[in-house]
Amino acid sequence: MKFMPLNLIKPIVVLLVTLTSAVFFVFQSPQTQNPSSSLSTMSSSSSSSSSVGRSFVLWLHGLGDSGPANEPIKNLFTSPQFRNTKWLFPSAPNGPVTCNYGHVMPSWFDIHEIPITADSPQDESGLLKAVKNVHATIDKEIADGTNPNNVFICGFSQGGALTLASVLLYPKTLGGGAVFSGWVPFNSSSSIIGQITPEAKRTPLLWSHGIIDRTVLFEAGQAGPPFLEKIGVGCEFKAYPGLAHSISNEELRNLESWIKTRLQSSS
């Protein structure tokens, strides 16, 4: 899937279609249920899961997508441990995107080129503004009583890049950060690295990437863990053969297991 700079529409269509197909693939799970809560009140509880403390999962979508379109993802997490989980699927603000010739679309920060490689230019100022908003959401959830160790940030594509930056720049250790088909949104000389606290370096990271991804190249994802290792951050990396720029049910099942092993008890 090549990026064609002479075609104004193609890069937009390619990215939106792949993101939509990822969501529809998830929708087709036989375990899908109808969401019944709004974005700000998506939580449920059960006495049978009282041993597991309240938890929070923030899901950040990709370029051109929306939060509500991703809500059915939560219905795949059927384990009892998630009965005390609050889910939040915010939508990115609209803004001009350079790789799409300034076309205005939902975007957490600017993206300069597609496909994204390990050496693509970054919009660090826009990234930091988005990180500030993510941190405000986390702060509110912790203030409402959620243990930071039960806070998980997850994101796909651009949302995955934002997830990584948000977790690394948060001053406390969180339950975990999960990056799907994302990339490191800053370079090795960035001042961002100096802002990463020892507590943030202890937050577990899961990185999943499709080997045949032609939007965020596999090389961009594969370069993430070694980059993080150099700055003292551990990361579990999983490659998915045959997977393009989308999310598979296998990835989400693995995420469910990964989060379950990290949830803290209420005591």
Active site residues: 157, 213, 245
Residue 54 CA to residue 180 CA, distance in Å, equals 24
Give residues with Cβ within 8 angstroms of 148, minimum separation 6: 142, 172, 173, 174, 175
Can you read off the two tokens belonging to residue 10?
């193609």
Helix (H, G, I), strand (E, B) or coil at 49: helix
Residue 163 CA to residue 179 CA, distance in Å, equals 7
Q: Helices (DSSP H) in the chain: which residue ranges? A: 10-27, 124-143, 158-169, 198-201, 218-222, 224-230, 249-260
Residue type, 120: S
Among the listed residues 229, 179, 235, the one whose alpha carbon sits nearest the alpha carbon of residue 208: 179
